[in-house]
Amino acid sequence: MATSSSSKFFSHPVVKWIEYRLPIFSFVDHSLGSQYPAPKNLSYWWNFGSLAGAMLSIMILSGIFLAMNYTPHAAMAFDSVERIMRDVNYGWLMRYIHMNGGSFFFIAVYIHLLRGFYYGSYKYPREVLWWLGVIILLLMMATAFMGYVLPWGQMSFWGATVITNLFSAIPLVGDSIVTLLWGGFAVDNPTLNRFFSLHYLLPFVIVGVVVAHIWALHIHGSNNPLGIDTKGPQDKIPFHPYYTVKDAFGLAVFLLIYAGFVFFAPNFFGEPDNYIQANPLSTPPHIVPEWYFLPYYAILRSIPDKLLGVIAMFSSILILFVLPWLDTSRVRSGRFRPVFRWFFALFVLDAFALGAVGAHPPEGWWLVVGRVATFWYFFHFIIIMPLLGWFERPLPLPASISEPVLGGARPAGAAVRSMEKN
Amino acid sequence: MRKLALTLAASAALVALSLAAPVRAEDEIKLPSPGWSFKGPFGTYDRAALQRGFQVYKEVCSACHSLNYVHYRDLGPAGPDGGIGFSEEEVKAIAAGVQVTDGPNDNGDMFERPGRPYDKFKAPFANANAARASNNGALPPDLSLIVKAREGFEDYVYGILTGFADPPADMKMMDGMNYNKYFPGHQIAMPPPLTDDRVTYADGTKATVAQEAHDVVTFLSWASEPTLEMRKRIGMKSMIFLLVLSGLLYAVKRKVWRDVH
């Protein structure tokens, strides 16, 4: 379909030669280039999708170099990580990039997800796009959890023990599942081996789902801060150069903050206990997961029953799959939903409260806060979201994207002309 | 209205973040903070303190504590990040001061030979059981990562070394244990390792307990993170590069978007 126009479009003879045989240049151009129209009013909150993609690439690249020097054996893993830190040229750099990269990948994805929440990006017709995003989140969590086990420090070992043991709560088959995960009857060398294998595999599965995520995105295009559909070419600008340069600027700023941690506080997100080699005979006083798991850990520990706690923890993610139907409002953007906006702020507060609870032992008022916050987490999705759609009176929506941007007076600007030129 | 809601969410997030700071056991005791040359974005290890600290490790700590991840070569001018500043000749002499087991030779026998710079620091005990047998059942931890592996980091290790005291009158000490202000539970198997003039410094520095502790903790911080100086050096260049890049990209973005706004 692209070949007919591409011969006009590309002028370089080598590009033309390849394009005639494999239309890869027009494919890229239609995917992320000048032939992909995007709403003209996307804010910087829309940068975090490409930032997450950049972090995925950084994680895969740094991970490949680490794997060249890492030994997945219970007796040698910890030593091999220290060898990477001390004796491998720039090994410390690769490891700190990878360690902190996990955190920054989650930062980008969580902001991306909250942006979707606020602007209703999960609503018709983007439900499958949203599902694919939730699947990516689940895969990321599995990957991150198994990656944290690989250095074979105390937190690696005991985190793995606690989390894998959760599956024993499943009736009938629970214990068999745990044995299967461990490859034996305790967290040991077989566990480390299979986690390493899966930790290397899953990122490429994520890449596959990301491709599907972007594919689904391209069917109806990006949502936008107004949450209304684009009405015509005057509402759109080509992705390249407008959003490529905006994403590049966002990436540079994000990398600046990320590099600040890699070079000046590389162990900020880590636990000192993970610099002690795994010891099955000595349990650390507080077993805490990485920060990005703290809210789920808080939900797990807020419920007195083990099975119900595990169900609640997994439900806290799985509930996102049905969010497009729990939200009964037909207005996408929180900008036009005066009541939802406050509940959104409360939900963000609730998520952070759960994170704080997860970092503390479940005692005293932390336990109380954890239970209230867990209740509110589900109450928000199951009760507030449907009710808001029925009772909230949204503000009047603008007629089109161009109207508020251009004040309705000026005709479509130069952006449209550049589209036509192409 | 929208701004207010967002501001509220953001400030709530900040409060939650400060509350989410990891829990610390024995929170009620404030660790001493004597100040370190290697803190901060430009901080580097004080080479004289490193060499004095190595002397304290060698003459005091190494009787019980191993340093398994450090090689003798790391002490020299060409360690992972410039070493601690001994000359190559000095490093050879330090390594030759221990006998290491090597082999098997052509006859299939293990043999002893003087240490060489590529050898790892010789451990005081053959294995953990031997270490426990000689230390009243307690295992002296390896010190290669001790500073990174303890909540409180260098301040904590310094606190342990200087925090020995007589136990409070109402405290029942277990057999062979020593009271320490900063150790979780306050009962530590290690007897006070440092005393005034426990070592004699070649550079004439007065060897007080505080000085010895400060020097050896500087050395152990280096042992935990020998690439710290290289990391900060590359970090500064990276930050400047990314700052300039961000500025340039922002200018390009403004120029490209001029027509849209």
Chain region(s) in chain A for CATH 1.20.810.10: 39-287
Q: Are A383 and A326 in contact (CB under 8 A)?
A: no
pLDDT at A56 over 60: yes
Helices (H) and strands (E) counted in chain A, each on its own, are 19, 2
CATH of A289-391, one of 3.40.50.11540, 3.30.300.30, 1.10.1200.10, 1.10.287.980: 1.10.287.980
Q: Can A218 be counted among the known catalytic residues?
A: yes
Q: Number of A:B CB contacts under 8 A?
A: 136
Distance from CA of B235 to the nearest CA of A (A): 5
Residues whose CB is less than 8 angstroms from the CB of residue B164 and which lie 6 or more positions away in sequence, other chains included? B178, B179, B180, B181, B192
Chain A residues touching residue B74 (CB < 8 angstroms)? 86
Contact B9 A87 (CB under 8 A): no
User: What is the reported pTM?
Assistant: 0.92
Q: Are A74 and A278 in contact (CB under 8 A)?
A: yes
Q: Can A403 be counted among the known catalytic residues?
A: no
pLDDT for the residue numbered B17: 57
Q: Can A222 be counted among the known catalytic residues?
A: yes
pLDDT for the residue numbered A129: 98
pLDDT at B248 over 60: yes
Nearest to A349 among B12, B252, B257 (CB): B12
Nearest to A256 among B1, B231, B239 (CB): B239
pLDDT at A421 over 50: no
Q: Are A19 and A4 in contact (CB under 8 A)?
A: no
Contact A241 B256 (CB under 8 A): yes
Q: Can A236 be counted among the known catalytic residues?
A: no
Question: How far is residue A187's CA from residue A77's CA, in Å, rounded to a whole number?
Answer: 14
Chain B residues touching residue A418 (CB < 8 angstroms)? 259
- The dihedral sign for the CA sequence B146, B147, B151, B157: positive
Q: Which of A66-80, A407-421, B64-78, B215-229 has the lowest mean pLDDT?
A: A407-421
Which residue from A303, A327, A304 is spatially nearest to A315, judged by alpha carbons? A303
Distance from CA of B70 to the nearest CA of A (A): 9
SS3 call for A39 = strand
Which residue from A337, A331, A368 is spatially nearest to A353, judged by alpha carbons? A368
**CB-side exposure of B126: number of CA atoms within 13 Å?**
4
A171-205 pLDDT, tens digit per residue, is: 999 999 999 999 999 999 999 999 999 999 999 99
pLDDT at A406 over 60: no
Question: How far is residue A320's CA from residue A117's CA, in Å, rounded to a whole number?
Answer: 10
Chain B residues touching residue A413 (CB < 8 angstroms)? 259-260
Which candidate in A246, A306, A392, A418 is catalytic?
A246
pLDDT band at B135 (very low <50, low <70, confident <90, very high): very high
- Find, in chain A, the residue whose alpha carbon is nearest to that of B68: A79
Q: Can A421 be counted among the known catalytic residues?
A: no
pLDDT at B10 over 90: no
CATH architecture of A39-287: Up-down Bundle (1.20)
- Find, in chain B, the residue whose alpha carbon is nearest to that of A81: B69
Distance from CA of B154 to the nearest CA of A (A): 12
Instruction: Return mean pLDDT, chain B.
Output: 90
Residues whose CB is less than 8 angstroms from the CB of residue B67 and which lie 6 or more positions away in sequence, other chains included? B57, B121, B123, B142, B143, B144, B223
pLDDT for the residue numbered A3: 44
pLDDT at B73 over 60: yes
Instruction: Return mean pLDDT, chain A.
Output: 93
Q: Percent helix, strand, coil in chain A (nearest 5)?
A: 70, 0, 25
Nearest to A256 among B8, B226, B246 (CB): B246
CA angle A19, A24, A29 (to 5 degrees): 105
pLDDT at A418 over 90: no
Which residue from B168, B71, B244 is spatially nearest to A255, judged by alpha carbons? B244
Which candidate in A290, A316, A329, A400 is catalytic?
A290
pLDDT for the residue numbered A25: 92
Question: Which contacts qualify for B75-83: CB closer than 8 Å, 24 or more apart?
Answer: B76/B117, B79/B226, B80/A86, B80/A87, B80/B226, B80/B227, B80/B230, B81/B226, B81/B227, B81/B228, B81/B229, B81/B230, B82/B229, B82/B230
pLDDT for the residue numbered B82: 73
Residue identified by tokens 């975090």 is: A48
Chain A interface test: which of B18, B42, B260 (most A C-beta within 10 Å): B260
Residues whose CB is less than 8 angstroms from the CB of residue A281 and which lie 6 or more positions away in sequence, other chains included? none
**Which tops the pLDDT comparison, A309 or A402?**
A309
Question: How far is residue B210's CA from residue B195's CA, in Å, rounded to a whole number?
Answer: 9
Distance from CA of B178 to the nearest CA of A (A): 21
Percent of chain B with pLDDT over 90: 84
Chain region(s) in chain A for CATH 1.10.287.980: 289-391
SS3 call for B180 = strand
Distance from CA of B27 to the nearest CA of A (A): 13
Distance from CA of B257 to the nearest CA of A (A): 6
Chain A residues touching residue B16 (CB < 8 angstroms)? 349, 352-353, 355-356
Contact A415 B144 (CB under 8 A): no
Average pLDDT for B101-106: 94
Nearest to B256 among A85, A87, A242 (CB): A242
SS3 call for B258 = coil
Which candidate in A19, A29, A235, A247 is catalytic?
A247
Question: How far is residue A286's CA from residue A308's CA, in Å, rounded to a whole number?
Answer: 23
CA angle A223, A225, A227 (to 5 degrees): 55
pLDDT at A411 over 60: no
Q: Which value does ipTM take for this structure?
A: 0.91
Contact A271 B238 (CB under 8 A): no
A295-346 pLDDT, tens digit per residue, is: 999 999 999 999 999 999 999 999 999 999 999 999 999 999 999 999 999 9
pLDDT band at A404 (very low <50, low <70, confident <90, very high): low
pLDDT band at B259 (very low <50, low <70, confident <90, very high): confident
pLDDT at A132 over 90: yes
The CATH fold of domain B37-225: Cytochrome Bc1 Complex; Chain D, domain 2 (1.10.760)
Question: How far is residue B54's CA from residue A110's CA, in Å, rounded to a whole number?
Answer: 46
pLDDT at A414 over 50: no
pLDDT at B1 over 80: no
